[in-house]
Each structure stands twice: as C-alpha cells, then as structure tokens.
Structure 1
Amino acid sequence: MNLTLCSLGHAARQEPSALPGVLRFPCNPRNRFPAFIYTAPPPPPAAADLIATMQAGKNAMASVKEAAENVAASAKAGMDKTKATVQEKVEKMTARTPAEKEMAEERKQEKIREAEVNKQETMQSNAVEHQQTLAGGQVADP
C-alpha cells in the first residue's frame, strides 16, 4: 500500500474532501498544522484472480446442473415405477388365471428394475460430466 503524507503547512488552507483512502489528522494543541495521508487506490484485480473467480462460478454452475439433472432422473424413475405399478394392477384385474397374474407381477418388477438402472446410469453420466467440467475438459452434448 502506498502512503503519502501531505502537510498543509498552514492551518488556514483548504482541507481535502472526505474521500475513501484519505486519513485526516486535524489541528490540535500538539499538532498545529493539519496533515492528511492519501492512500493509493487498490490495484485492479489480476487476470489470474479473475480467471479463478470465473472458474469458481463455472464449477458452481456445473454442480447445480448436475443436481438438477439428478433430480430430474429420480423424478422420471419414480414416474416409470408408478406407471409400471398401475399397469400391473390393470393387468391383474383383467387376468383370468393365476399364471397371467404372475406374469403381470414379473413385468412390473422388470420395469421397476429397468427404471432404477436407467436412473443410476444417468446419475453416473452426470457425475462424469461434472468431473470433466471441473477438470476443464470440454464435454460434448450426447
């Protein structure tokens, strides 16, 4: 920090306006002449600081995007599971034999497993994409 001490040399001279970076030492019995310390304005942020700030914002956006995509994947899996359950109930109501009811139950379980696998794969690909973004790599849209 650069400091400059300026003494007015005479108490009757004009005082500088109240500016940021100006420290004022007014007249008093020990100091008959007012003095002011002017501090240099802070230097502009370095390019590295700006890049680090931008990178932090990019990382935050990547985290938000990953979280949103994971929520969407969970919601879709939940809808698929509910749809499978409803279809199974309809098939059981229209089934005439216990074998048809058993087949409906098996189809429901298979659709639920498939929905869960799809959700896990989507979450895993989101995590990989997030890690690539953190590493600075370019990610192509599938």
Structure 2
Amino acid sequence: MDGNTLRASVSVKGVPADWAALPRETAALLVEFRAPDEAGQEAFEEAAAGVMRGLDLVVPAASVTNAFTRDAGTIAGYWKARKAFVTAVGGSRPSGTTLITEDFAVPPDRLADACEALLELQSRHGFDAAVAGHAAHGN
C-alpha cells in the first residue's frame, strides 16, 4: 500500500492514528507466511528477515516497527486495514471526484516499476492516486 492508501486507512477502526501523517512516498507491505509447522514458519521468517537486512527501511511513525509479528490482534488490525482500503480511499476523496479501481498483474520483479507508472499516469490525468495490491505465490 502506498502513502495515500495508508493515510486514508486511518478512517478504519483500529488503524493507528499516526498513519494520517505518513509521507506520500511511504509504502508498506503486508506479508503473511503460512507453513505446515513451526520450523517451516521460522524458515520463512528468517529468509524474509535476510531480505529486509539488505533494505534501507524507515520508521515514519511511532506505530511502525518493521518487525514480523505473530500477535493475533496486530495481524487482524493490519488485515482489516488492507481489506478496507478501497472504502477508505474512496471515502477520503474530495466530493465530486471519481474513484477508479483497477486490477492488473505484473511479474513480481516489475512491481515497483508498474506502481510508479500507474502513479504517474493517474497524476498526469489529475487523480490523487492511491495504489494497493496483492500477490499470492507470485501471481
């Protein structure tokens, strides 16, 4: 989810209020690992942690930790925000404007390029863009 989507999500009950001040350039990934056992879960988390160590992550709000969690309440809150993003973004737009939703698929290694192109396209046509998406097993 991008900064616009995250900021709009504060209208969803349970989403941290400090997300309202997130910079436009903010992006967040909600990643869920499913494994048949604890060892598999730990292996997934360690592999992802290795990737994260190579990134220059920021903590733009006090409620953001960039840490994996297994806390059911925290997980439920993040998924609630993710599932409600269309309603949140649609509800936060100015009166008289149009909400455009589009679903598209790109190879995972082209996702950043596709999001940047989509934001530029929407901006060029006067839309205050918000981008959120999903992927499962690379789809």
Give the TM-score taking structure 2 as reference length: 0.21
Give the TM-score taking structure 1 as reference length: 0.21
More strand by share: 1
Larger Rg: 1
Q: RCO (CA 8 Å, sep 6+): is it higher in 1 or 2?
A: 2
